[in-house]
Amino acid sequence: MTDPGRGDGTRSVRAGEPDPVAGAPLRPSPVFAAPFHLADAPPRAGGADSYARTEHPTLRAFEAAVGELDGGRCLSFATGMAAISAVLLAAVRAGDRVVLPSDGYYATRLLARDDLERLGLRVDLVATPEIGAVAARGDLEGAALVLLETPSNPLLDVCDIAAVAAATRAAGAVLAVDNTTATPLGQRPLALGADITVASDTKALTGHSDLLLGHVSTTDEALHARLKGFRDRTGGTPGPFEAWLGHRSMSTLDLRLARQAQTAAAVADLLAQHPAVTGVRWPWRPGDPSSALAARQMLRPNGVVSAELADEAAVGRLLAASRLWTAATSFGGVHSTLDRRAQWGGDAVPPGFVRLSCGIEDTADLVADLAAALDAVHDAAHGPR
């Protein structure tokens, strides 16, 4: 286990690694077995592995690494939605009240509408900027589970985790925080009072746009047991190769976040000054509605910026004129991407609203390319400046 006082780069590389052994690999190779030899002993005798859906050494190595960064015990899942589904279903009972973000990841709201309500759960949707006031008024009384997503996706609003945690604790509710956008290096919800932190590791944690993974971490042993039981029974376990690649990929998280944040700051400034753009959001930009809270609550910025162009056609012209910004959904990868969120139909955003995910290409190249593309958008609408 790494020293929690060490820097982000050291912890990203060393998290979850055992003490070195002479002649052994620096990191073990993935184990691909599904069943394990029981040696005529009862299953799990002496802590031995028996079947990969419920216990597996490669998954444990990945979980140990992520758990170190989160500050809790980690369970890995096949996808981020598998992880969120486990939180929303394992921590509640039929008839319970669940409070979810109305402006968070749209698939979470689809799960609530199509499945949670069908199973008898009462779902309330509250916008991220409003959840602090709702908590302060005592309106979380009677809730069994509250899920926050901060910064929210795609609007990038931030809410006060510690304040909401105090309210949920007083109400006897479980507080879960979707930490996908921030990553464990950017924010530690468990240290701020949350009971659970959950994330899609498909995004920035593994960061190469080639894996589907998710995880849940908690410091509550009873919650951990319930979540593990749910995962094992429903089969949401990831494959060992994905877990091994995830562990490998997160080693560069500190370096990737640093470049992405550097680029995001420059991109946000460019967007804010360009006549073709309105509504720029990046929580670390001075004057952003979330800047004061983000500076107080979060440990470091990331590389996701949102903004609005005039309409769908303007976004199309931007993408046609760009050579480095690729149209793609998801975020947090090494390639810079731009996603027009209204095309998916799940977010209440204007047709020209875009989420920009800054990759790790050279900042100057990305800014120059985006500036030229924005000029093309403006000139098409208003003539050359």
Q: How far is CA 67 from CA 4, 17, 74, 285, 344, in A?
A: 12, 12, 5, 30, 33
E strand map for 15-95:
73-77
State the chain's mean pLDDT as an integer. 95
The answer to whether the CB of 363 falls within 8 A of the CB of 259 is yes
- Provide φ and ψ at 29, rounded to 5°: -75, 160
Of the chain, the percentage scoring pLDDT greater than 70 comes to 98
Q: What is the pLDDT of residues 239-296, one digit of tens each?
A: 999 999 999 999 999 999 999 999 999 999 999 999 999 999 999 999 999 999 999 9
Which two structure tokens, joined as six digits, stand for 257? Answer: 């976040």
The answer to whether the CB of 300 falls within 8 A of the CB of 283 is no
Angle at 150 between CA 146 and CA 155, to 5 degrees: 120
In this structure, the answer to whether residues 66 and 162 fall within a common structural domain is: yes
In this structure, the answer to whether residues 187 and 280 fall within a common structural domain is: no
| CATH number (domain holding residue 234) | 3.40.640.10
In this structure, the answer to whether residues 189 and 238 fall within a common structural domain is: yes
pTM of the model: 0.96
Q: Which H/E stretch holds residue 339?
A: strand 337-340
Which of these three, 251, 273, 294, is where a domain ends?
251
Task: Look at residue 209 and tell me whether its pLDDT is greater than 70.
Answer: yes
The answer to whether the CB of 110 falls within 8 A of the CB of 116 is no
Confidence of residue 43 (pLDDT cuts 50, 70, 90): low
In this structure, the answer to whether residues 237 and 263 fall within a common structural domain is: no
Q: What is the pLDDT of residues 114-127, one digit of tens each?
A: 999 999 999 999 99
Task: Look at residue 42 and tell me whether its pLDDT is greater than 80.
Answer: no
Is 2 within the bounds of a domain?
no
Is 1 within the bounds of a domain?
no
In this structure, the answer to whether residues 222 and 260 fall within a common structural domain is: no
Q: How far is CA 364 from CA 100, 264, 303, 359, in A?
A: 39, 11, 15, 12
Is 286 within the bounds of a domain?
yes
Instruction: Kindly report each contact of residues 6-10 with a partner whose C-beta sits within 8 Å and lies 24 or more positions away, as own/partner.
Output: 7/254, 8/185, 8/253, 8/254, 8/257, 8/300, 9/254, 9/255
The answer to whether the CB of 361 falls within 8 A of the CB of 311 is no
In this structure, the answer to whether residues 185 and 310 fall within a common structural domain is: no
Distance (Å, whole) CA 346 – CA 309: 19
Number of domains in the chain: 2
Beta bridge partners, 145, equal 98, 174
Is 3 within the bounds of a domain?
no
In this structure, the answer to whether residues 62 and 154 fall within a common structural domain is: yes
Looking at residue 47, what is its pLDDT?
A: 64
Q: What is the pLDDT of residues 216-232, one digit of tens each?
A: 999 999 999 999 999 99
Confidence of residue 33 (pLDDT cuts 50, 70, 90): very high
- When pLDDT is averaged across residues 47-60 and rounded to a whole number, the result is 89
Looking at residue 346, what is its pLDDT?
A: 82
In this structure, the answer to whether residues 104 and 234 fall within a common structural domain is: yes
Is 368 within the bounds of a domain?
yes
Range of the domain at 172: 8-251
Looking at residue 289, what is its pLDDT?
A: 97
Which of these three, 206, 235, 251, is where a domain ends?
251
Task: Look at residue 86 and tell me whether its pLDDT is greater than 90.
Answer: yes
- Comparing 33-47, 115-129, 352-366, the range with the smallest average pLDDT is 33-47
Which two structure tokens, joined as six digits, stand for 328? Answer: 């793609």
Looking at residue 220, what is its pLDDT?
A: 98
Which of these three, 236, 251, 266, is where a domain ends?
251
Looking at residue 1, what is its pLDDT?
A: 65
DSSP state of 351: T
Confidence of residue 130 (pLDDT cuts 50, 70, 90): very high
In this structure, the answer to whether residues 224 and 284 fall within a common structural domain is: no
Confidence of residue 46 (pLDDT cuts 50, 70, 90): low
